[in-house]
A and B are shown apart, each in its own frame.
Chain A
């Protein structure tokens, strides 16, 4: 992530969380946090606890974030932020937490004054991690039609071409899902697992081979001992943790989308 990207990210994050941006220059950003955002980011529970007990006037903090030191006047004091900075990491975590679940309605232009049905879709964004002593990830995005079970890929890209609102638009009505979220998600899981199993898993075979080699060495090291010492078992377990191939599927976020189309491409 480049510094400009970080800057834009922060701008959008604070705006989305209703924080007033007091100053926004190429090198830095000053925002007035809301009470909720102060609680979210500033890590001062005692202050808020005290205030609530005493009924004082809340004074949420202002936050100045510097994304480019060379483009910031010397008298501007703030936190220097870069990709590895703990503050940015905290904001990332907060983003994820605040936007884990969503429900939106498609707002399409209706030509005539007629009622229009919206079809329920389950959308999920997924991270798949292939892990042994190394790791790689893949991003996937699925949409499942909750009426007929149709499954589409790159669903998020499709959604981002649509106008979506949190309130149901006028003259629209939603169809009730036949497939409930739980079983919908289960269908996606089954599909994904099958697809993964069909992939080439040379990486996992190689990891197993490395594992076996090291196991053979370990056995050789202790071969003269009738009774294996504790260190043998510890090392053996360490090798398993180091090499054992595993695929982890984690859901980044997702939700229910009511769309005008029963089938999307």
Chain B
């Protein structure tokens, strides 16, 4: 077999030169030192990790070291790192990157992360890994620096995009890679056209509901590993078929993906204390909530009326401001509203005006005072966020807002303000992802999202590695509302809040019925009586419980067979 052998000619040329000129010559002691030093950098084996001995200040956990080793030795440096939230995927990626840099297999590195995490990634790589990573600020960083951290939204735009394509990257790391599951997006296309010699995709939720999502993710990393596009779609026509159905597919995915679960790591986690706080509407709030029924049977909406009502009802459980905002938008969108429609909206606005107090906000205030420590409040609605900030301020409590739409610098600043100066951070859903707040251990869910995965993400912000205290979670639900139902009939029944992060994801993917959220909407919209709704909810929870039993059985048999599958 022929192998290319490259002999570096530069040293020899200069030797001849110096020999002619008789010098300058080095010092014997330094000469010997240089050899000793080089011998320390000689890595005689293809296998094994060198990085840990270069990282005096970092104590990687056993599972993190194992991941790094496996990615380099078994997966050839292309992998989906899919540990559950909070197990330290960043550390794993850092170890792999460091190892490649030490072995001089990687020089140019591109790291694409959510905007809110750019500074944090750069900071961690510099401090924990001694990797001179820079956060992208001006376009010139692309060719000036070897290791750049950027948000994907910046990177994909001109002129950055063109600059990036000109670079010759050795390693591309993408955090929160589940956002790339849709192959029709610009982000996907951008990443697809990046040259990826080595590539790490980081995600805590690799498989959500549809089987083609994992196909697209894997195809970014290793095109063809799961077959061709047409071939794959042909084979798995129903998009929401369960990946677990196909043992072969499962095996293939495991070749490019590593997933550790909390339970496997043997790490002691701090406790999670979950408390449901039931709130009574005051009279005016109840009036508003009930008044939303007037929209029922309105011909103006046709198919959408159920959905709109549901949204408004959920908003009514949060704040009157949230309801008002949606109503205003509804009115604006309609070009020629019928007088009947306008009348109904006006009627609701009257009801809003009648509401003088927000019962949840009152309770929140009471709780914050009682806790007397840092608190994160999560809400689904921006209007509620603004209201809460104002409301708390009235009572002498300062808070900072946090939203997905904030620019990176602002996010960092808000986090900093929260850590150093204010007691409360109020985050909307989009702000829930990609910010680590383990210095805080009280969390209020002011209202509840319908996607349980989003709840997990919220909890994962605080209950993660590095959290040294027990975490307290307070779930607010207004009595006798949709919110109450979803909390009691679903989240509590399936023990959502007690679960380790990531487990639910796994269970839900076992169910062949598509998005859970759609089922919930269906139940609430099409049930004619409360009794019917409860029965339907019960069916749903039973399905989930059934899937859980199945999962447990599978795992038991796997363990019995001595098998070790990283995704089941």
Contacts and interface: CB of A to CB of B under 8 A. Distances in A.
B228 A221 contact: yes
A4 interface: no
Contacts, number: 222
Nearest to B189: A231
A16 B30 contact: yes
Contacts of A86: 130, 132
A83 interface: yes
A98 B24 CA distance: 10
B42 A137 contact: yes
Contacts of B140: none
B239 interface: no
Given A99-B26, A193-B7, A135 B38 contact: no
Contacts of A189: 7
Interface string B47-89: 1000001111100000000000000110011100000000000
Contacts of A9: 33, 36-37
B223 A234 contact: no
Contacts of B44: 136-138
A137 B38 CA distance: 11
Nearest to A211: B76
Contacts of A12: 29, 33
Given A100-B26, A231-B192, A248 B228 contact: no
B37 A101 contact: no
Interface string A191-205: 011001100010111
Chain B contact residues (Cβ within 8 angstroms of A): what range?
Answer: 35 or more
- Residue with the highest number of chain B CB atoms closer than 10 Å, among A101, A136, A139, A189: A101
B19 A253 contact: no
A187 to B, nearest CB: 11
B12 A185 contact: yes
Given A131-B105, A201-B1, A204-B3, A156 B15 contact: no
A98 B27 contact: yes
Given A218-B223, A247-B4, A254-B11, A180 B32 contact: no
A1 interface: yes
B533 to A, nearest CB: 46
Nearest to B72: A134
A204 B1 contact: yes
Interface in A60-109: 82-86, 92, 95-96, 98-104
Contact of B5 (A98, A249, A252): A249
Interface stretch (B143-151, B195-203, B516-524): B195-203
Contacts of A117: none
A48 interface: no
B26 A102 contact: yes
B18 A101 contact: yes
Contact of B31 (A99, A137, A224, A242): A99
A83 B223 contact: no
B105 A135 contact: yes
B415 to A, nearest CB: 27
B25 A102 contact: yes
A182 interface: yes
Contact of B222 (A17, A217, A237): A217
A52 interface: no
Nearest to B131: A84
A36 interface: no
B35 A252 contact: yes
The 10 A-B pairs with the shortest beta carbon distances in the complex, nearest first, are A217-B224, A221-B224, A84-B54, A99-B30, A99-B26, A82-B56, A16-B29, A221-B223, A251-B11, A99-B31
Interface of A: 1, 9, 12-13, 15-17, 82-86, 92, 95-96, 98-104, 125, 127, 129-131, 133-139, 156, 160, 164, 166, 180-182, 185-186, 189, 192-193, 196-197, 201, 203-205, 208, 210, 214, 216-224, 230-231, 234-235, 237-238, 241-256
Given A246-B4, A256-B19, 6 more contacts: A83-B54, A102-B27, A181-B16, A234-B194, A241-B170, A251-B11
